[in-house]
């Protein structure tokens, strides 16, 4: 603070007297002011007034003092400071570890993402299905027969002939059935959402339509039930995505019917029921079929037989079959279940 | 005894008083003062005296904000257990003491934020350069601000006091 006071030239500004009384000036400045005050009555009077104002302010502020408490020992505060430092150090170490772990996991995920070969969903399903088969097999027990009551599954919207169109499916399964479906499909671990389109199966396709020499009709689930009643071939507990019926043959026998159902993994299972010759022909004409000789059951060997993603069973002149990209053991277990359900109807 | 410990012994009461005049709660002022010195012991500032009051002012500001948020304004005379009857003060004297507290509190509230801050820091014992550093004022402006603050405080108190006496008479 600069104070340039000429003893006889001017009086001392008020704020400088405040600073003087607050001992905020240098020694030289104080000497100058004191020499002026010694010869200036007006500044001396002002100084006394400011001193009184200062003392009064101090007294008024002293009124606003809290009740005098005791001063805690500094050791206590030192302990708190030390504990807080230790805690902060611990938090920093924990944060550093967490960051390292996140970084490592991120690097691992990144490396896995860019180094993993693209695999077909069918292969993953095939590997996972053995875990699902026991759940299916348990329903072959005699007490499972009453469960095979008429069908609780409905198609939410009318199906169209265009297979590329995604279909919305609504299931109205009873609680017991509803809890069965997850047992069938919960074992496979998929890292992709279920596919709605019917691309993973091998039947039926336009190839078979030409093979059979007739037209395929696509029905809604309600339409299929109206036409066949309870004898629509299907597996309880799985949503139905498509029902197709072959052209009726002369003679009045029921035409071949193909019901496509979908696992949560996206895999499509097709259940086929119809005249044995047509079913055998359809199974044999599948694009994936490689067996040179017919492995399908005959009148003499009516048991369950098949291969290459298909399994069939014969009932007189009719045949019931299942196709899916699943191991033969799984298909055989599903066939047993389907047989039990169809017999119960 | 190091500098910080010495500062603690000589300044703790002033810090509590400084905080009390901002939060108007004796217990809270003591808690905040202890928090100030705990932080000082951890940080070991180069200029501990100015640092302590700067942190105290910041804590008081945060406290005021949170008090506003909680709508928990503490008044000088109501709800503050620290403002109970002062020992050895007779009932009549107590009434007069309370009136004076209210008047001073009211007078202090009439000051601008900067004038009040400078006045309280000066009363807490800070030097002009320390006040200037904390309030971002020029050192030469501290005297001017202090002169104005002192004058307005006393004038406001006298107005308040004469109004109270006129109301009773």
Distance separating alpha carbons of residues A267 and A234, to the nearest angstrom? 15
Q: Do B104 and A63 touch (CB under 8 A)?
A: yes
CA-nearest of B101, B107, B168, B27 to A69 is B27
Cβ atoms of A273 and A233 within 8 Å: the answer is yes
Q: For position B15, what pLDDT does the model report?
A: 92
Write the CB contacts of A262 (distance below 8 Å, at least 6 apart in sequence).
A169, A194, A196, A198, A238, A239, A241, A268, A269
pLDDT band at A206 (very low <50, low <70, confident <90, very high): very low
- Tens digit of pLDDT for each residue in A58-77? 999 988 888 777 778 888 88
Measured between CA atoms, the residue of chain A closest to residue B148 is A15
Predicted pLDDT at A324:
84
What's the pLDDT tens digit per position in A211-247?
Answer: 445 578 888 888 888 888 777 888 877 888 888 888 7
d(CA B107, CA B17): 17
Contact predicate B63/A103, CB 8 Å: no
For residue B77, give every residue at least 6 positions away whose Cβ sits within 8 Å of its Cβ, in sequence order, or none. B83, B98, B101, B102
pLDDT digits 0-9 by tens, A92-131 = 878 888 888 888 888 888 887 776 655 444 444 444 344 3
Q: Is A166 a residue whose pLDDT tops 80?
A: no
Chain A partners within 8 Å of B13 (Cβ): 68, 71
The verdict on A4 touching B (C-beta cutoff 8 Å) is no
**Using the beta-carbon criterion (under 8 Å), do B107 and A15 form an inter-chain contact?**
no
Which residues 6+ apart lie within 8 Å of A232 measured at CB?
A: A151, A224, A225, A243, A257, A259
B104:A64 CB<8 A: yes
Q: Out of A191-200, A204-213, A300-309, B113-122, which region has the weakest mean confidence (pLDDT)?
A: A191-200
pLDDT for the residue numbered A183 = 41
pTM of the model: 0.46
Of A4, A12, A3, nearest to A37 by C-alpha is: A12
Give the pLDDT score at A144.
38
Confidence category of residue A86, pLDDT binned at 50, 70, 90: confident
What is the per-residue pLDDT for B67? 74
| Contact state of B13 with A54 under an 8 Å Cβ cutoff | no
Query: What does the block give as tokens for B27?
Result: 């217990």
- On the question of pLDDT at B1 being above 70, the answer is no
pLDDT at A149 over 50: no
Give the C-alpha separation, A178 to A176, whole Å. Answer: 5
Which ipTM was obtained for this model?
Answer: 0.79
Q: A57 CA to chain B: closest CA distance, Å? A: 6
A59 part of contact set with chain B, CB < 8 Å? no
- Does B108 contact A at CB distance below 8 Å? yes
The per-residue pLDDT for A290 is 57
Q: Does A16 touch chain B (CB under 8 A)?
A: yes
Is B102 an interface residue toward A (CB < 8 Å)?
A: no
Nearest residue of chain A to residue B36 (CA atoms): A77
To the nearest 10°, report the CA torsion of A142, A146, A148, A150: 160
B128 contacts A19 by C-beta, under 8 angstroms: yes
- What is the count of residue pairs from A and B with beta carbons less than 8 Å apart? 102
């Amino acid at each position: 603070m600069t104070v340039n006071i000429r003893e006889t030239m001017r009086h001392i500004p008020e704020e400088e007297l405040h600073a003087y009384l607050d001992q905020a000036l240098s020694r030289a400045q104080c000497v100058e002011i004191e020499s002026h005050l010694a010869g200036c009555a007006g500044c001396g009077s002002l100084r006394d007034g400011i001193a009184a104002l200062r003392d009064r302010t101090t007294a008024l502020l002293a009124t606003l003092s809290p009740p005098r408490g005791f001063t805690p020992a500094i050791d206590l505060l030192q302990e708190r400071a030390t504990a807080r430092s230790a805690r902060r150090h611990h938090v920093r170490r924990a944060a550093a570890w967490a960051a390292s772990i996140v970084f490592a996991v991120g690097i691992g995920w990144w490396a896995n993402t860019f180094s993993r070969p693209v695999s077909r969903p069918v292969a993953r399903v095939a590997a996972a299905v053995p875990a699902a088969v026991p759940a299916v097999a348990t329903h072959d027990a005699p007490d499972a027969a009453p469960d095979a009551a008429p069908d609780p599954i409905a198609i939410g919207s009318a199906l169209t002939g265009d297979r590329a169109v995604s279909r919305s499916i609504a299931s109205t399964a009873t609680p017991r059935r509803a809890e069965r479906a997850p047992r069938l499909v919960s074992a496979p671990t998929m890292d992709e959402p279920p596919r709605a389109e019917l691309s993973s199966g091998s039947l039926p396709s336009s190839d078979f339509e030409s093979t059979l020499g007739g037209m395929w009709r696509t029905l809604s689930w309600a339409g299929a039930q109206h036409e066949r009643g309870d004898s629509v071939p299907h597996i309880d507990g799985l949503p139905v995505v498509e029902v197709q019926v072959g052209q009726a043959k002369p003679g009045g026998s029921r035409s071949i019917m193909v019901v496509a159902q979908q696992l949560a993994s996206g895999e499509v299972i097709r259940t086929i029921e119809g005249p044995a010759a047509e079913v055998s022909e359809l199974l044999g004409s599948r694009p994936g079929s490689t067996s040179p000789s017919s492995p399908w059951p005959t009148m003499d060997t009516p048991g369950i037989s098949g291969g290459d993603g298909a399994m069939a069973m014969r009932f007189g002149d009719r045949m019931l079959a299942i196709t899916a990209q699943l191991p033969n053991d799984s298909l055989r277990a599903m066939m047993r279940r389907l047989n039990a359900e169809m017999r119960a109807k | 005894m190091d500098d910080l410990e010495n500062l603690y012994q000589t300044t703790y009461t002033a810090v509590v008083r400084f905080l009390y005049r901002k939060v108007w709660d004796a217990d809270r002022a003591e808690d905040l003062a202890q928090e100030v010195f705990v932080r000082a012991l951890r940080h070991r500032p180069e200029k501990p005296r100015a640092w302590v009051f700067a942190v105290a002012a910041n804590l008081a500001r945060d406290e005021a904000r949170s008090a506003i948020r909680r709508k928990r304004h503490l008044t000088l005379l109501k709800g503050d257990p620290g403002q109970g009857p002062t020992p050895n003060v007779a009932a009549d004297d107590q009434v007069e003491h309370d009136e004076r507290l209210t008047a001073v509190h009211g007078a202090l509230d009439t000051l601008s934020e900067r004038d009040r801050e400078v006045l309280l820091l000066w009363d807490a014992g800070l030097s002009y350069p320390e006040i200037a550093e904390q309030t971002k004022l020029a050192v030469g402006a501290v005297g001017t601000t202090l002169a104005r603050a002192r004058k307005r405080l006393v004038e406001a108190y006298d107005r308040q006091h004469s109004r109270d006496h006129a109301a009773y008479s």
